[in-house]
Structure 1
Amino acid sequence: MAMTDHLLVLEGLAATYNHAIRVLSHVSLTMRRGEIVALLGANGAGKSTTLKAISNLLNAERGQLTRGHILFDGRDTTALPPAELVRLGLVPVLEGRRCFRTLTVEENLVAGGIGGGLSRREVAAGLERVYTLFPHLGERRRSASGLTSGGEQQMTAIGRALMARPRLLVLDEPSMGLAPLVVETIFSTLKGLNGEEGLSILVAEQNSTVALRYAHRAVVLDGGSTVLERDAADLRGRAEITALYLGSPEESAAHLAALREPSSADYAAS
């Protein structure tokens, strides 16, 4: 397939767990190369399931993609095992800072390089790069990951993913449970990689304020379906976005309706 500007395309995804519990009904989105896209929505909206579907990890949790298509750089991700997707450049960082707790920080990072098919020389260069991006990890490189702080574990998980040289980094709730300063450090580092290296990033995030500040575009999920896709700048500071995470289903529907109303920018463009 000829190369296009679209690095990732999701069309009409539907998914279940245990062939019975429907979680996704109709999720669609597109990502251009070099974009940061924020995936927003309340708990249960389908964000994590969407990311697992992209990385072909649903089967590991008794999940099934029942309808739709996922293309990464023109390839059907459902036809490729997760390890192959990593080697192709689609690298996930799952929710919960899933480090190998008994391994040191550096051993975790090396595991990421091995998973990405890197040579010994490339692994060494990757370690130097990660320690430059996250200097604190260099200081803790010999520490068992399970004995480091939550922020250090998240940096380790992201660093391990970066060791695989991703073209698309898929992040699930990277700010969860972390201090604001750590969150800012992580997001500013990722934004720098996006600007300097063109790294594409899809991030599902509960902290919509931070996500919208760093993202180019945002996709909002509700009830397992895509309900809104707009430039992040249009959504920054909108009270409706915060309320989506806190309100009742009826209130969320009202806030989504308000978000769909044409903005001043829409009128200016018409």
Structure 2
Amino acid sequence: MSNVLLSVEGLAATYNHAIEAVNDVSFAVRRGEIVAVLGANGAGKSTTLQAISGLLPARRGQVAAGRIVFDGHDIAAASPAKLVRAGIVLVLEGRHCFLSLTVEENLITGSIGRDARSRAMRADLDEIYELFPRLKHHRRSISGLTSGGEQQMTAIGRALMSRPRLLVLDEPSMGLAPLVVEGIFRALKQLNGERGLSILVAEQNSTVALRFADHAVVLENGRSVLSGASVELRNRDDIKALYLGGSLQPDRAEKPLIHAVATL
């Protein structure tokens, strides 16, 4: 069995068959590692993740060239539902929760597609609450009334309830205070270490991504321009200035949650 779980080779993608968003992106995710896709706003990170997750058609986008291979199978034309069943689960940018449902109801929706029995579902919920203690405290709260950080934890927890083989996250740090981001990335690293879960994360916040990822690929103007071990990339003084732009600024509205997340 190959150690490569996901391979993206020469990916090109367009919108409305006219607007080129990505052109020549290549990288690989090996089993049990965390890979970060880095780049400034507009570099093509979200388009790349949507192509991998089968969501481009929903946004009038198309894979125009290249290959996306998951566990030995070309998935460039696969539907999102088929990809979720295969084990690719995306957490969209922007903390997408069912705002009128409780935190626990949101989490449970993540297990519907795999037809989980109640005992297995409860065991999975317990694991999510152990990973994100704040969610256990707010499990009966309406998601729309929780903080941005808690909504992001809920979105990640819901994805984990699907028992993914590859967890894909698009800008999980967006709009969150630094200590909230730190807690979320530590939880992801814990999952990776304890379960061997493979994780692909697109981030504009290069500082935190390079600390927690094993490998990284840098995108610029829709192309992959640099890749390598994270420890090597974060020691290069030119990376941030040349490719990554500024880090995201913390959201002042998240300040009340900082102390809570620091206890994760």
Give TM-score scaled by structure 2 length.
0.90
How much has 1:81 moved relative to structure 2? 1.7
- SS of residue matched to 1:10: strand
- Is this contact kept in 1: 2:206–2:244, CA < 8 A? no
Q: Which of 194, 197, 203 is the equivalent residue of 1:196? A: 194
In the other structure, the counterpart of 2:12 is 14
C-alpha separation in 2, matches of 1:64 and 1:83? 17
In the other structure, the counterpart of 1:95 is 93
In the other structure, the counterpart of 1:48 is 46
- SS of residue matched to 1:233: helix
**Percent of paired sites with the same residue:** 67
Superposed, 1:160-239 pairs within 5 Å as 160-239=158-237
In the other structure, the counterpart of 1:246 is 245
In the other structure, the counterpart of 1:61 is 59
Number of aligned residues: 245
Larger Rg: 1
Amino acid of the structure 2 residue aligned with 1:89:
G
In the other structure, the counterpart of 1:258 is none
Q: CA offsets per residue over residues 5-44 of structure 1, 9 Å max, x none? A: 0000011111101111100110111111011011001111
Superposed, 1:15-164 pairs within 5 Å as 15-164=13-162
C-alpha separation in 2, matches of 1:54 and 1:11? 11
C-alpha separation in 1, matches of 2:115 and 2:73? 19
How much has 1:115 moved relative to structure 2? 2.6
Amino acid of the structure 2 residue aligned with 1:154:
Q
How much has 1:118 moved relative to structure 2? 2.3
Give TM-score scaled by structure 1 length.
0.88
- SS of residue matched to 1:78: coil
How much has 1:237 moved relative to structure 2? 4.2
Q: CA offsets per residue over residues 206-243 of structure 1, 9 Å max, x none? A: 11010000011110111111111111001114332222
Amino acid of the structure 2 residue aligned with 1:127:
L
Q: CA RMSD in A?
A: 1.2
- Is this contact kept in 2: 1:117–1:164, CA < 8 A? no
**Unaligned ranges ≥5, structure 1:** 248-270
- Is this contact kept in 2: 1:91–1:169, CA < 8 A? yes
- SS of residue matched to 1:43: coil
- SS of residue matched to 2:64: strand
Q: CA offsets per residue over residues 241-265 of structure 1, 9 Å max, x none? A: 2222338xxxxxxxxxxxxxxxxxx
C-alpha separation in 1, matches of 2:139 and 2:75? 34
